[in-house]
């Protein structure tokens, strides 16, 4: 609910306008002089202040600057009994949003405040839209594996439950941030800000001021007020990445915001209310951390209301090739190459590799391959050794696929020969691809029955 303050010494006007605006659904506070108005605005953040220019203990014009210094988002509307252009111009110059001349009709007040609120909302919207116009413009690939389909179902349900905090767990690079964005974009807050904070990226004190902001003078370097990410996320979603790395001292502070949706800027005494949805992610084992006293149990349970587990890529192998083709096309487009294809032998290699770095690793591998690839098909030559090495046995040519149980040595020999073939018998290049020295390769070849096969160097 938007908070308004009416500063007016005339009791009739104060009470009538106050009651009228309260009936319209605003949360209204009143002050009858400048001192009380300043005190109240230090204790609460107002979206709009309706201000009489002639107060018993001061000039309303002086107050405008003070209100705006406290919060430059607050809109100030002047009420003046003197319909002089000069007064109005001075007020607007001092930073007032608009003015209304007394006596006024309550309907005029309703219209003016409605317009001011819309302005305030639009200002917010424009500011964050400018900063992040493409948050929801992401293609999400996957969807073929049962694991991904289950994940999508859960994600959609949780996205709709707008106030439920979410905890996304999963290995590094598995797509947790993607899932978090999908939740934001599928929620009623999709039109609101999407703000991210990586809890492992900053030292504790900086993280705290990033999150909560600070008042002017809160510490030596605080030369002016700084809004924290909590305020910037008002009306939207705050994504707390690597929540497992959040310092123990900050955990109760976060819990309080989660529970009350209010907080104070550092060095401030004002309670600021926000409407933020919290989505957190971690690759750590939080239950284990709770057991070891490294993560607060109450915060864990509070976040875990909407629990989502993103499966590692190896647990959803059906998604590997669609993702790989997607990354390849994207990468080819980025480097200005024509469309690239995957050599058939590569497909089973990609599908059977363990992908410890998950989707991020897959993306990097395909991007690198697209850059290295001189032809229109990506082959083993453009793949890193660990992938070619791990999966060579699975990439046996089809005429030999009736040999399901090659022993390890045979597998190795077979693979070495394939790599040699792929580089036209060049041992130096083959050794490079295999990740071994040329001498080791020679020794291994000595043990081959096909030692005398035509090999060039």
Instruction: Write out the residues near ligand ATP by the rule CB under 6 A.
Output: 140-142, 170, 172-178, 241, 281, 283, 359-360, 363
Q: What is the CA radius of gyration of the chain?
A: 32
- In the complex with ligand ATP, the residue whose CB is nearer, 5 or 279, is 279
Which residue number places its CB atom closest to ligand ATP?
Answer: 175
Q: CA torsion angle for 392, 397, 399, 400 (degrees, to 10)?
A: -10
- In the complex with ligand ATP, the residue whose CB is nearer, 195 or 281, is 281
Structure-token pair, residue 398:
């089809």
- In the complex with ligand ATP, the residue whose CB is nearer, 41 or 155, is 155
CB of 131 to ligand ATP, least distance (A): 19
Residues 6+ apart with CB under 8 A from 292: none
CB of 359 to ligand ATP, least distance (A): 4
Residue 335 CA, chain-centre distance (Å), reads 27
The rounded distance, in Å, linking the Cα atoms of 337 and 371 is: 9
- In the complex with ligand ATP, the residue whose CB is nearer, 112 or 179, is 179
Question: How far is residue 285 from each of residues 244, 292, 294, 300, 398, measured CA to CA in Å?
Answer: 8, 11, 11, 11, 42
Q: Quick one: which H or E segment has residue 306?
A: strand 306-309
Give the 3-state secondary structure percentages of the chain, helix then strand then coil, rounded to 5.
Answer: 50, 15, 35
Q: Which burial class, exposed, middle or buried, applies to 379 when counting CB atoms under 10 A from its CB (0-12, 13-18, 19+)? A: middle
CB of 75 to ligand ATP, least distance (A): 38
CB of 342 to ligand ATP, least distance (A): 17
- In the complex with ligand ATP, the residue whose CB is nearer, 71 or 309, is 309
* Angle in degrees, 0-180, between the axes of helices 11-23 and 106-131, rounded to the nearest 10: 60
Give the three-class secondary structure for 258. Answer: helix
CB of 347 to ligand ATP, least distance (A): 18
Task: Determine phi and psi for 281, rounding to 5 degrees.
Answer: -140, 150
- In the complex with ligand ATP, the residue whose CB is nearer, 361 or 412, is 361
Residue 245's closest CA among 172, 180, 175, 183?
A: 172
Residue 29 CA, chain-centre distance (Å), reads 36
Q: Quick one: which H or E segment has residue 194?
A: strand 194-198
CB of 326 to ligand ATP, least distance (A): 6
CB of 310 to ligand ATP, least distance (A): 6
Q: Which burial class, exposed, middle or buried, applies to 59 when counting CB atoms under 10 A from its CB (0-12, 13-18, 19+)? A: exposed
**DSSP secondary-structure letter at 340?**
-
- In the complex with ligand ATP, the residue whose CB is nearer, 231 or 241, is 241
DSSP labels, 147-184: HHHHHHHHHHHHHHSTT--EEEE--TTSSHHHHHHHHH
- In the complex with ligand ATP, the residue whose CB is nearer, 168 or 274, is 168
CB of 140 to ligand ATP, least distance (A): 5
- In the complex with ligand ATP, the residue whose CB is nearer, 41 or 174, is 174
CB of 102 to ligand ATP, least distance (A): 57
- In the complex with ligand ATP, the residue whose CB is nearer, 170 or 213, is 170
The rounded distance, in Å, linking the Cα atoms of 136 and 3 is: 30
- In the complex with ligand ATP, the residue whose CB is nearer, 226 or 360, is 360
The rounded distance, in Å, linking the Cα atoms of 424 and 444 is: 18
**DSSP secondary-structure letter at 56?**
T
């Amino acid at each position: 609910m938007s908070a308004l303050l009416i500063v007016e010494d005339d009791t009739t006007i104060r009470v009538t306008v106050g009651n009228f605006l309260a009936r319209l659904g605003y949360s209204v506070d009143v002050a009858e002089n400048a001192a009380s108005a300043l005190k109240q605005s230090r204790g609460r953040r107002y979206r709009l202040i309706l201000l009489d220019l002639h107060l018993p203990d001061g000039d309303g014009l002086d107050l405008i600057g003070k209100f705006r210094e406290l919060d430059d988002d607050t809109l100030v509307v002047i009420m003046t009994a003197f319909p002089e252009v000069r007064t109005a111009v001075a007020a607007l110059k001092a930073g007032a949003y608009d003015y209304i001349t007394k006596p006024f009709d309550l309907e005029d007040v309703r219209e003016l405040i409605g317009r001011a609120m819309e302005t305030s909302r639009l200002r917010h919207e424009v500011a964050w839209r400018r900063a992040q116009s493409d948050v929801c413009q992401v293609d999400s690939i996957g969807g073929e594996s049962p694991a991904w389909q289950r994940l999508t179902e859960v994600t959609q349900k949780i996205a709709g439950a707008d106030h439920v905090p979410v905890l996304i767990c999963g290995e590094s690079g598995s797509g947790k941030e993607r899932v978090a964005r999908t939740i934001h974009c599928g929620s009623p807050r999709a039109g609101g800000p999407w703000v991210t904070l990586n809890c492992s990226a900053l030292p504790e004190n900086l993280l705290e001021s990033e999150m909560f902001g600070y008042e002017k003078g809160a510490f030596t370097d605080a030369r002016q007020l700084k809004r924290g990410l909590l305020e910037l996320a008002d009306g939207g979603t705050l994504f707390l990445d690597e929540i497992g790395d959040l310092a123990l001292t900050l955990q109760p502070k976060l819990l309080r915001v989660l529970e009350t949706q209010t907080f104070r800027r550092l060095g401030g005494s004002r309670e600021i209310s926000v409407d933020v949805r919290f989505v957190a992610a971690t690759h750590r084992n939080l239950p284990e951390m709770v057991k070891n006293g490294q993560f607060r149990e109450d915060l864990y349970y509070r976040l875990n209301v909407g629990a989502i587990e993103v499966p590692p890529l190896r647990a959803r192998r059906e998604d590997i090739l669609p993702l790989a083709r997607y990354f390849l096309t994207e990468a080819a487009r980025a480097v200005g190459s024509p469309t690239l294809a995957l050599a058939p032998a590569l497909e089973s290699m990609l599908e059977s590799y363990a992908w410890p770095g998950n989707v991020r690793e897959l993306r990097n591998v395909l991007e690198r391959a697209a850059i290295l690839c001189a032809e229109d098909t990506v082959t083993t030559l453009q793949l890193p050794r660990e992938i070619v090495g791990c999966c060579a046995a699975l990439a046996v040519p089809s005429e030999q696929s009736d040999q399901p149980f090659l022993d390890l040595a045979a597998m190795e020999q077979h693979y070495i020969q394939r790599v040699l073939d792929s580089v036209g018998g060049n041992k130096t290049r083959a050794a490079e691809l295999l990740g071994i020295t040329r001498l080791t390769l020679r020794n291994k070849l000595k043990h081959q029955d096909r030692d005398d096969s035509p090999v060039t160097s």
